[in-house]
Structure 1
Amino acid sequence: MASSAPLKGSELIDCARANGEQGIEVAAYRCGYGNDLARFEQQLREAGQHIGVEINGFDDLVNNRQGNEQRGVVIAPDTPSQL
């Protein structure tokens, strides 16, 4: 569902991250920016500055999230008999 007014601050960052997998166009629309992708990314940068996080654009939110999901090491036996 799209926001009736453009979101700002941490609400904008949360919305953009939540819709990141659908792409920038969908995220911008759902965050209240319609087709104005340049304004959407500018507001993301400003929201990041406000909370003390460097956000250069939408891709920073999506790539950061994917990177976090891929971290870690799986430690498990090769077969159930090796338990």
Structure 2
Amino acid sequence: MAATAPLKGLELVDCARANAKQGTETAANLCGYGADLNTFKHELQQACQSMGVQFNELTDLITDQQKMLTIGEGEIVAPDSPSEL
């Protein structure tokens, strides 16, 4: 659900991080900036800077855990059948 007003600070960073994989346009819209990508990037850069988070582009906010889920790395550990639970 898109924010009704442009988000600021921690809320903006959290929203942008949660939607970073969907692209800048989608993240900007969901964070309440609509099609104003320049303002979105500027506000996000300021918010990250005040929090001490390195930010050059939206993909910088994607965590290693999110990347691993996307790539599908890791091993699934599960029993072969329900009777082996």
What range describes the TM-score normalised by the shorter chain of this pair? 0.7 to 0.9
Q: Deviation at 1:74?
A: 5.7
Task: Let me know the Cα RMSD of the aligned residues.
Answer: 2.2
Q: How many residues align?
A: 72
Q: Deviation at 1:35?
A: 0.3
Q: Does 1:7 align with 2:7?
A: yes
Could you state the TM-score of these two structures normalised by the residue count of structure 1?
A: 0.72
74 and 35 in structure 1: CA distance in 2 versus 1, 3 angstrom threshold:
closer
Of all paired residues, the percent bearing the same amino acid is 50
Structure 1 unaligned blocks of 5 or more: 76-83
Could you state the TM-score of these two structures normalised by the residue count of structure 2?
A: 0.71
- Counterpart of 1:29 in structure 2 is 29
Distance 2:59 2:17 in 1: 10
Instruction: Report 1:22-61 matches (<5 A).
Output: 22-61=22-61
**Which contiguous aligned blocks of 4+ residues in structure 1 show a shift greater than 3 angstroms?**
67-70
Structure 2 unaligned blocks of 5 or more: 76-85
Q: Deviation at 1:2?
A: 0.6
- Per-residue CA deviation, residues 28-77 of structure 1 (Å, 9 max, x unaligned), is 00000000111111111100111112212313213xx2x4444xx968xx
Query: Which letter does structure 2 place at the counterpart of 1:27?
Result: A
Query: Which letter does structure 1 place at the counterpart of 2:9?
Result: G
